[in-house]
Each structure stands twice: as C-alpha cells, then as structure tokens.
Amino acid sequence: MRHIVFIAPRFLDNTNRYLEAFTKLGVKLSVISADPSAAIPAELRPPIEAHYQVASLDTEPLIEATRKLAASVGKVDRLVGFLEQLQTPMAEVRDALGIEGLDARTAGNFRDKDQMKATLRAAQVPTARSALATSRKELERFVDEVGFPVIVKPRAGLGTRATYRVTNASELAAIGAPSAGAPVQVEEFVRAREHTCETVTIKGKPVWRSGTRYFPSPLEVLETPWIQYAVLLPREDNDPTWTAFHPHNTNALTALFGPAANTAAGTALTHMEWFLREDGTSLVNEVGVRPPGVQIMPLMSITHATDLFADWARLVALDEWTPKPRVCAAGAAFFRGPPGGTRVASVTGVERAVEQAGSSLVMMRTPKVGQPRAEGYEGEGYAIVKHATTDGVKDALKALIENVQIRYR
C-alpha cells in the first residue's frame, strides 16, 4: 500500500475537499499542516495514519516533518499538495529525501515566470516577449524595445498580486527600481481573450483536457473594481477555439517538464493560462503544476459528471486516471462591488438573480453584510451554474452578474 503525505496548510473548506479525497483512496495517508490536529474535521480523522504540525511551510520544517513521518509510518511514495506556493518547497523536500515526483529544478520551470518563458521560447512555444529586469536601466531597455504598454509583475507571482499594466514613462518611473536581489518580471502587453487549458498528463503525455474562458481578464478585473468576474466552461469539447491550442499545450508541457516528463513528475494535472488574439494566434501565458483555482475544479466536476477532487487525488497518489466525457456546460460568477469601503454594507438583487438563473443555479455563496472586503478578483461571494448548452450558462452568468449588487461601507 502506498504511503502518501498530503500537505494541508490549514483545514479550510477547500483544503478539506482535497483531504477527504485522499482519505477515500485506501492508501496509508499522513498529513502535514500548520494547524494542530484538533483542527482536522472529526469525520476525516479515522483514515489518517499520522499527522505532523509544522511551524511554517518552508522547506526545512517540511523536510523534518516528512522525515519523521517516513520514520514512523514508512517510506514516502508521494508528497502532494495543491497550493501554488507549496510547489517549490515540496519539490525541495522530494530532492532532499529522494521521493519520486516533481524535483526543484523542474518546479522552477513552473514557478519562476522568467525561467518559464525562457523554457517556452527555447521550445518555440509562442509566448509574450519578456525579461527579468534587475535594474532600472534593464527595465527601460526592455520598454524601449517593445514599447508601451508593458506588464510588470513579480517573478513568482500568484493571484495577479502586484501585477500592473504600465502605459507611459511616468508610470514606469513610479515603479520602485528593480535590483539583483529584487528583480521584476516585465512583459510585452498582450491584447487578447484569456483562456485556460487544464491537462492531465501521465508521464508527460496529455491524456485528457478541459478548458475555460475568463470574462474579463483577471488584470481588467483588478484594474476595474466594480467589474464582476466570471469563468465559463463550455459544453463543446471539440470547439476549435480550444482545440487549435492543444498542440501548443502539448509542446509547452513537454518543454516545462523537460527530462522529468517521463517520470512521476510528469503525472499531473496542470492549469495553463493562454491568450487568444483577434488574429487567431495564441500565446501561452503561464502554467501551474497544480489543480486550478477560481472554482474550475467544481466546474470540471459538474461538466464531466465526476468528482475531480477525487480524480486528482487518485492521479497524483496512484498514477491512475479514467478520462470522463463532457456532458454539459458550467460557469462561475464572482460577486464584487465598486471601490471605497472595507466591509459589505448591503447585498441586493439576489432574489432576482436566483429567479432569472432558474434551474441553472447549482449553488450560491451570497456575500454577507459586515463581511470584510476581499482583495482579489474572486470577490466576497460566488455562484456556480450549469446548463445543457454553453449559451444557457452564459445567460445564467449574466443574470447573476447583472442583478447582484454589493455596496461597501
């Protein structure tokens, strides 16, 4: 029986869905967390063989925890976790303890945006021009070459945090000077629609794909606080809009997994974000070697009549995957409101939204009065819809976004 170590930073709802999936696999399961074991939901405790609490999720404490679990439970076959920030520390633990799976060098291809783009370019995968600027001079030189606007973002960013569109010299001057110790990733600004491609690979070979579209782009959502954000997973799995991108997806994954592709490292669910320009050309933006966020896991579950959390757990723990066909369309709408204020003062239009979304509505987490304002593009609440057709989902998303209004105080 395989010994799987799952890193669950804290036992929050989303993490518990993943944890539950691992508890049902019939493996020897150990859990590492920052939370004490008392925080593990009672019903999930019995199948857990061992638990180790860490003071932080840095590499060193994780090595110590994993080593202790190996000593008490047995050789660790897989070390798994779904958070973006965990991918490099987990890879360093695998390297240190000789555990099969994604190694630190390969993890860098996914976590370091400069290394990622360089790897993609070397493999002739289309991607935006970019540079890692370590001084103001380098930043300016890049802008001279590609022209405004440019995108400036952290080298190992997530959640579109500290990501800016820079449109002129004075905005550029306002950015703190990069240094060798604190470089910034600078990229040509791509005007395009944003899509995702979720791919299951077994030893580096794609065996299943799904894809979504973002309405509008995460950057536009953050630049425009009153815009509500939606993600659409269409009914059609043979729409050329998505399938034409698949060769780039294959090439990108082959390049990023590199020599590790044909090992346990290449058995993964990846989340690729890509741009589709008006002229029909596409560019890879970035790839996470982890399950997607923004409710895409539930959306993939609904549209493929499966439990993707369980399917992912089985994939990364046991290297097993049963491809499921797509049976309907689904979408998620995220509720957010205009700028100003720190807490939700009122939420209106919910009844109308529910009525108009009708039988398409699967679930809704309504923002609550008094709730603190959320920072990111996911807002204070969300709803998930499904329909037999893509247009049915679009109508339902529109009903939600046009009716639900949040005000802050």
Ligand X SMILES: Nc1ncnc2c1ncn2[C@@H]1O[C@H](COP(=O)(O)OP(=O)(O)OP(=O)(O)O)[C@@H](O)[C@H]1O
Q: Report which secondary-structure segment, H or E, holds 271.
A: strand 268-276
HSE toward the beta carbon, residue 18, CA cutoff 13 A: 26
Six token digits for residue 38: 């008392």
- Give the span between the Cα atoms of 246 and 178, in whole angstroms: 36
Helix axes 104-111, 113-122, angle to 10 degrees: 90
CB of 189 to Mg ion, least distance (A): 15
Can you give the three-state secondary structure of 336-357, one letter per residue? CCCCCCCEEEEEECHHHHHHHH
Closer to ligand X at the Cβ: 11 or 377?
377
CB of 153 to ligand X, least distance (A): 6
Closest C-alpha among 249, 242, 191, 193 to residue 216: 193
Shortest Cβ distance from residue 3 to Mg ion (Å)? 33
Nearer to ligand X, 128 or 333 (CB): 128
- The partner in contact with residue 157, picked from Mg ion, ligand X, none with C-beta cut-offs of 5 to 8 angstroms by kind, is ligand X
* Paired sense of beta strands 229-233 and 329-335, if any: antiparallel
Question: What is the rounded distance in angstroms from the CA atom of residue 221 to the CA atom of residue 16?
Answer: 28
Contacts of 320 (CB under 8 A, 6+ apart): 314
Residues paired with residue 48 on neighbouring β-strands, in sequence order: 29
Strands laid side by side in the 268-276 sheet: 282-288, 268-276, 193-202, 205-215, 229-233, 329-335, 381-387, 361-365
- Residue 49 binding result from Mg ion, ligand X, none, given CB thresholds of 5 to 8 Å by partner type: none
Pick the binder of ligand X from 219, 232, 233, 300 (CB under 6 A): 219
Size of the site for ligand X (CB under 6 A): 19
- Give me the least distance between CB of 223 and Mg ion, in Å please: 15
Determine if 183 is a binding residue for ligand X (CB under 6 A).
no
Provide the minimum distance between the beta carbon of 222 and ligand X in the complex, in angstroms, as a whole number. Answer: 8
163 contributes a contact to ligand X by CB under 6 A: yes
Q: Which amino acid is at 325?
A: P
Given ligand X, Mg ion, none, residue 128, with its beta carbon under 5 to 8 Å by kind, binds ligand X
| CB-nearest residue to ligand X | 219
Q: How far is the CB of 286 from Mg ion (least distance, A)?
A: 5
Within 336-395, which residues bind ligand X (CB under 6 A)? none
- Residues within window 17-56 making contact with Mg ion, judged by CB under 5 A: none
Nearest to 265 by CA among 206, 323, 322, 201: 201
Instruction: In whole angstroms, give the CA distance from residue 375 to residue 231.
Output: 18
Q: Taking Cα atoms as reference points, which of 266, 261, 258, 210 lies closest to residue 236? A: 210
163 binds, among Mg ion, ligand X, none (CB under 5 to 8 A by kind): ligand X
Contact positions with Mg ion (CB under 5 A) in 242-301: 273
Binding flag, residue 187, ligand X (CB under 6 A): yes
Residue 289 interaction partner, one of ligand X, Mg ion, none, beta carbon < 5-8 Å per kind: none
Q: What minimum distance in Å lies between the beta carbon of 83 and ligand X?
A: 11
Of 92, 114, 198, 273, which lies in the binding site for ligand X, with binding defined by CB under 6 A? 273
By CB under 6 A, residue 295 contacts ligand X = no
Please identify, among the stretches 11-19, 73-81, 188-196, 340-348, the one whose residues bind ligand X according to the rule CB under 6 A.
Answer: 188-196
Applying the rule CB under 6 A, the residues between 120 and 159 that interact with ligand X are: 128, 151, 153, 157-159
Would you say 151 and 310 are in contact if contact means Cβ atoms under 8 Å apart? no
Q: Is 204 in the site for ligand X (CB under 6 A)?
A: no
Q: Is 147 helix (H, G, I), strand (E, B) or coil?
A: coil
Q: Least Å distance between CB 277 and ligand X?
A: 11
Least distance in Å: CB of 335 to ligand X? 18
The binding site for ligand X (CB under 6 A) comprises: 128, 151, 153, 157-160, 163, 187-190, 194, 217-219, 273, 285-286
The binding site for Mg ion (CB under 5 A) comprises: 273
